[in-house]
Amino acid sequence: MTLVRHARPADLAAAADTLTAAFKHYPWTRHVLPERDYLARLRALQHLYLGYAREHGIVAVTGDSDGVIALLPPHAPDPAPAMVEEVVALHGDRIDRLDQAPPPEGAWRLETLGVRPEHQGCGIASALIHFALSEVRARGGRAVALDTSDPRNVRLYERHGFGVTAHTDSGDGPPVWKMFASLEIQHGEVAAAQSAAAALEAYLAATNTHNFDHVERVLAPDAVYFFGDATCIGVSEVRGYFERTWAMIPDETYWAEDIEWVALSEDAAVATYTYHWSGTIDGQERSGAGRATNVFTRSPHGWRLTHEHLSSLPSRQVSEQEGEGIA
């Protein structure tokens, strides 16, 4: 299974290297960048765009950055003037060859997808696309558009629900296929098409209702929980633990931070995050935090939580949390 996660700032240099290797012979970049210092220009552009996309959209990488994908939402802010100047300088006398029409109204734009040549054909691109489309859905996106100049990419994207909306081959430059995927969920198919990210969001929201019937809707019947003080197997045991906790902390609030999808495929997904809780125990305000791993699998009724493992924070993080007043 290919591990996909959101890129961190420290990942961007390696991600730019990957895209440079992936696009070394790509027709479009060869067309819009001068031959002189081509690879240096290409890498500088990729690094600029990745930083901008990470700030305003989505950048995801495989665990070792051998694959990279970046998307921007509709109405992303214009790049800063300094970035525009750098882009113009890097394109040099070929800047007039850039003629990228905006995507359809309301659509996200898949800006780039690249896999190191030695790792192509191993399913990395498909894992990145699946992760990205799930993230766009979780953020309320309903469509994604892209351009490609490689017919092999057309077939790849078609397998993930994209269709060709236009094909130009003027002779003055490489051919361009414009593609579009609707992420709208048809009525009656909500559960089956629900993304893993949305399932996690629904699970966290259900937890704060203090009504286990709501939580159960997101669980697999044979869900296994590893709590710090107990192991619960099956919905009945998990229900008992939740309801005992709510009885002890009737006003408990539970939330997640720093969510990372460390694995995501068509049928299984794994998220890690830092969980926090706060509430009143015996008249005293209390709070705490720890680490969580959630495993989701796709069922005929949609994504379901099949395993949760809660553990304490590393000692250094505990000290930091205590410094912020967390008991």
**pLDDT number for residue 53:** 95
> Is 4-182 a CATH 3.40.630.30 domain?
yes
pTM: 0.58
Rounded Cα–Cα distance for residues 243 and 82 (Å):
56
Q: Mean pLDDT check: name the lowest of 2-6, 29-33, 233-237.
A: 2-6
| pLDDT band (50, 70, 90) for residue 322 | very low
Cβ neighbours of 288 (radius 10 Å): 15
pLDDT in tens, 241-285: 999 999 999 999 898 888 887 887 778 889 899 999 999 999 999
Cβ-count burial 75-102 (b if 16+ within 10 Å, e if not):
ebeebeeeeeeebeebbeeeeeeeeeee
Q: Mean pLDDT check: name the lowest of 30-34, 55-59, 85-89, 201-205.
A: 201-205
* Matching residue, tokens 């709590």: 227
Rounded Cα–Cα distance for residues 31 and 65 (Å):
26
**pLDDT number for residue 321:** 38
Residue 327: is its pLDDT beyond 70? no
**pLDDT number for residue 188:** 34
pLDDT in tens, 165-214: 888 876 678 888 889 988 864 433 333 334 777 788 888 888 989 999 98
Q: Mean pLDDT check: name the lowest of 71-85, 110-124, 182-196.
A: 182-196
Q: Do residues 224 and 245 lie in contact, with contact meaning Cβ atoms separated by under 8 Å?
A: no
Domain locations along the chain: 4-182, 190-323
Rounded Cα–Cα distance for residues 239 and 232 (Å):
9
**pLDDT number for residue 205:** 86
Residue 310: is its pLDDT beyond 80? yes
| pLDDT band (50, 70, 90) for residue 37 | very high
**pLDDT number for residue 303:** 87
The hierarchical CATH code for the domain 190-323 is 3.10.450.50
Residue 133: is its pLDDT beyond 50? yes
DSSP string computed for 8-41 = PGGGHHHHHHHHHHHTTT-HHHHHHS-STTHHHH
Give CA 250 to chain center in angstroms: 34
**pLDDT number for residue 234:** 96
Helix (H, G, I), strand (E, B) or coil at 301: coil
Residue 29: is its pLDDT beyond 70? yes
